[in-house]
Structure 1
C-alpha cells in the first residue's frame, strides 16, 4: 500500500496505548454478553406429581417470550404446561450493546492500522485528527447509552427469570398445583459485561482529551490564551 511506513512509536504514547486498551475492552464487552447461556428451574407439584423439575433454557439475545418450559409430564397437571414460556423480549437492548461493541472493535483495528502504518500521514493531516476526535466523542456517548440501556434490560431479565417468575405463570394458578422457584444460572458474566461497558465509556471519554491535544483546535486555543 502506498505510503505505508510501519512505526509503532504512537503505541507508546497515550493515544495509541489507550486505543489498544479500547480494543481489548470492547472484546470483553461483547464476549461476556453474547456468550451467555442460562437455565431457570422450578419445582412443580400437582395431582400425581411431587416436586417435578421444570426448566426453561435461555441465552443471548434474550427473547424470553420464545423460551418454553418443558412440561412436567403430559399425562399430569391436566396438560396445562404446554407452550408455557418466560415473559419479555430484551433482544433489542442486548443486540444493540453487542453489535456496537463489535463495531467499536473493528474501528479500533482500523485506527491502529492507521497509527502504525500511516503515522506520518495521520499526524500531519488535521482533517484526520479532527475526524478521529469526532468519532471518539460519538463512541464515548454511545457507550454511555448502550451500557445503561443494557443494564436496564439485564435488571428486567433477572426479574423475568428469577423468583418473581412464578406468580406470572398460568399453570401455577391452577387449583391443586403449586410452584416453587428453585434456581437460575448465575448472571455474573452479564454483570461483568455492564462493568466493561462502563470502563469502555471511561476509556473513550478520557481519550478525547489526548486526541484533542493533537488537533489544531488545541493549538489555536493556546495561541488565543
Structure 2
C-alpha cells in the first residue's frame, strides 16, 4: 500500500469538489432535523372558571409524539383534567431516525472518501476495485437519499397536522361538555423544511456525482493492460 501523501489536485476536479459539497449538505441535513425542539399550545376555558389556562406539549427529534404529554405548570389539573395523561398522536421516529442516521453515515463516508482522494490519489486511480466500490456506493446513496427524504417529507407533513389546530379534535378533554379549547400556536418548523430541502439536494448531488465517479472506473476507462492489448501491443519474447 502506498504511503499517505497529500495531493490537493483532486479537490480542484469535480470528483473531489462535489464530495466536499456532499459533506456540507449532509451536515445540514442531519443537524436541521436532529436538533429540532418545539412545542404546541392550546388554551382551555373552564366552565366554572372564567380564567383561561394554557397547556403545552413539547416535542422534538425523534418525534415520538405519542410520548409527548401536556403540562400545565404550576398546576397538574386544569378544569379538573390531569393533562399529563394526555399526549399528542403519532410516532414518526422511524422516518426521522432513518433520515438522520443515513445522513450521518454519508457524512462519515465523505470524510473517508476525501482522505482517499487527497491522501492516496495514485492508489485510488491505479486500483480497479476502489473506484468501482465508490461508484456503487454513490448510486446506492443517491437512491437512499430519495427514499429517506421522501419518507421524512411525508412524516413532516403528518407532524404538522398532529401538532396544529386539528389537535383540538383529537384531545378527549376538549370534547367534554362545557370545556372549551382553542389552538394557540406551534413552534415554527422552518428548520425541518430546510432538512427536507437538503435531503433532496443531497440526492441531486449524489446522482450528478455518479457520472464523475463512473469516469474513474474501468467501465469507462480500460486498464493500461487492456489498452495495450487493444492497440496490438505484444510483450517481447526472449531470444533463444
TM-score range, shorter chain: over 0.9
Alpha-carbon shift at residue 50 of structure 1 (Å):
2.9
* Equivalent in 84, 105, 108 of residue 106 of structure 1: 108
Structure 2 portions without partners, runs of 5+:
231-240
Aligned CA RMSD, in angstroms, stands at 1.7
Give 1 or 2: higher helix fraction.
Answer: 1
For residues 109 and 50 of structure 2, the distance between their equivalents in structure 1, rounded to whole angstroms, comes to 56
Q: Does 1:60 align with 2:61?
A: yes
For residues 145 and 116 of structure 1, the distance between their equivalents in structure 2, rounded to whole angstroms, comes to 31
Alpha-carbon shift at residue 216 of structure 1 (Å):
1.5
Secondary structure (helix, strand or coil) at the match of 1:130 reads: helix
Residues 75 and 134 of structure 1, relative CA distance in 2, 3 Å threshold? closer
Render the CA deviation track for 1:123-168: whole Å, top value 9, x for unaligned.
Answer: 1101111110000000000000000000000000000000111100
Q: Does 1:174 align with 2:176?
A: yes
Who is 1:92 aligned against? 94
Who is 2:45 aligned against? 45
Residues 76 and 96 of structure 1, relative CA distance in 2, 3 Å threshold? closer
Aligned residues: 222
Matches within 5 A, 1:74-223: 74=76, 76-219=78-221
Q: Does 1:70 align with 2:53?
A: no
Secondary structure (helix, strand or coil) at the match of 1:96 reads: helix
Secondary structure (helix, strand or coil) at the match of 2:215 reads: helix
Who is 2:30 aligned against? 30
For the 8 Å contact 1:143–1:197, the answer to whether it is kept is: yes
Alpha-carbon shift at residue 4 of structure 1 (Å):
1.1
Alpha-carbon shift at residue 111 of structure 1 (Å):
0.3
Residues 217 and 168 of structure 1, relative CA distance in 2, 3 Å threshold? same
Structure exhibiting the larger radius of gyration computed from Cα positions: 2
For residues 91 and 64 of structure 2, the distance between their equivalents in structure 1, rounded to whole angstroms, comes to 4
Secondary structure (helix, strand or coil) at the match of 2:44 reads: strand
For residues 206 and 114 of structure 1, the distance between their equivalents in structure 2, rounded to whole angstroms, comes to 20
Residues 181 and 94 of structure 1, relative CA distance in 2, 3 Å threshold? same
For residues 186 and 171 of structure 1, the distance between their equivalents in structure 2, rounded to whole angstroms, comes to 26
For the 8 Å contact 1:66–1:86, the answer to whether it is kept is: yes
Residues 75 and 206 of structure 1, relative CA distance in 2, 3 Å threshold? closer
For residues 132 and 82 of structure 1, the distance between their equivalents in structure 2, rounded to whole angstroms, comes to 51
